[in-house]
Each structure stands twice: as C-alpha cells, then as structure tokens.
Amino acid sequence: MNLNLFNKILDSRTINLTTYKKSGDVVHTPVWVVTDGTLGYIRTSKSAGKIKRIKNNHKAIIAPCTSSGKITGDKIEIKAEVMELSHKDYEIIDKKFRTKYHLFYIALRLFRWMKPYGKSEIILLKEK
C-alpha cells in the first residue's frame, strides 16, 4: 500500500468513502475524517447504512472529494472497521473532529446532526 497516499487522503477535509452492499453494489458517501497520523476515523450515526455495510464487508475505498462527493484525487483500497470505544477514547477522537472542523462541527452539534456518545459510531480506517 502507498502509505503517503493513504495519509494524504486522511489529511483531506472531506473524503469519499466507498462501501459495498451484500449484492456487491457500491455506495459512495462523502464524510469528514480525522487522523492520528497512522489511522483514520469517521464519526457517524449508529443507524447509518455505512455501519451495516462495513460490518458485513470491511473492504472500502477512500479518495479526497468535495463536500458534495465529487472525487478530486487518487483513490486507495483500505480496511474499515466499526470500533467499540470507551467514553474516554470516544472523547479523544471527538476532540480531533472539534479541532479540525471547528465552527462547522459546533453548528452540526447544535442542530443535533452530530450524535453524542452512545448514539454514534466511530469507523476506523487503516491500511489494507
């Protein structure tokens, strides 16, 4: 795997996450992402379709994109997993989102589009 490309994509403001249905059909979703320098993290609702798809198939593709989902760069195949986190670990990742997306993040929390701990999931992205 091209680690430089993986990290470059994770540094993007928005990435396109491609996941697979049981039928093999692909689903493209623009998402926010943060990184700890090695792994990527996506935060989403527990009821989001991507959670179900990733639990069934860890294979995914990521690429930088616009907020509307238009891919703007190279893509790479990765492994995605839904994480089980303690409240403390969740808060560490949540702080990364608050830092990276600041006012946008605050606005989403105010309008309750960003669910709190217990109602949202963290998806781990790692090299394949």
Domains in the chain with CATH codes: 3-127 (2.30.110.10)
Average pLDDT of span 13-41: 96
Q: What is the mean pLDDT of the chain?
A: 90
8: pLDDT confidence band, cut at 50, 70 and 90?
very high
User: Model pTM?
Assistant: 0.89
d(CA 89, CA 70) in angstroms, rounded, equals: 32
Q: Is the pLDDT of residue 118 over 90?
A: no
Give the type of residue at 33: V
CA distance 127 to 91: 24
CA–CA separation, 20 and 28 (whole Å):
9
DSSP string, 44-102: EETT-HHHHHHHH--EEEEEEB-TT--B-S--EEEEEEEE---HHHHHHHHHHHHHHHH
